[in-house]
């Protein structure tokens, strides 16, 4: 499995990296959705909505439009209700809490 993480928080990235490594998955870290590998190269994309830039929703939708096979999971702090609403309003689906992402990641990769 090949996955990418759009995440600025290096502590969170290290947690994702540990799970991915243990599962034998390939992982690439990028700072913005514009830096994601070309469509078709990824199975799973993890996006930290709390580290977003103003144009993220458009960039993510554009990337998704050309890659329907990758699963995208938005995540953020469970207390950031504004971010949760913004992700839904942008048509990017519900977000999961960071802790939920880490606890479910091995299963998602498998």
Q: Give the chain's mean pLDDT.
A: 84
Q: Determine the pLDDT at residue 15.
A: 96
Fold held by 2-109 = Rossmann fold (3.40.50)
CB-CB contact of 5 with 30 (8 Å)? yes
**Average pLDDT for residues 24-49, to the nearest whole number?**
88
Name residues whose C-beta falls within 8 Å of residue 101's C-beta, 6 or more positions apart in sequence: 16, 46, 73, 75
**62-89 per-position pLDDT tens digit:** 777 766 678 888 898 777 777 777 777 7
Q: What is the pLDDT of residue 106?
A: 93
**Mean pLDDT for the stretch of residues 38-64:** 80
């Amino acid at each position: 499995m090949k996955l990418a993480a759009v995440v600025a928080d290096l502590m969170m990235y290290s947690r994702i990296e540990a799970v991915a490594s243990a599962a034998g998955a390939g992982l690439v870290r990028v700072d913005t959705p514009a830096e994601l590998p070309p469509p078709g190269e990824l199975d799973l994309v993890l996006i930290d909505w709390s580290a977003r830039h103003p144009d993220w929703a458009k960039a993510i939708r554009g990337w998704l439009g050309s890659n329907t096979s990758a699963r995208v999971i938005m995540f953020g702090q469970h207390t950031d209700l504004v971010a949760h609403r913004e992700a839904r309003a942008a048509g990017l689906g519900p977000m999961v809490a960071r802790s939920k992402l880490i606890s479910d990641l091995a299963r998602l990769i498998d």
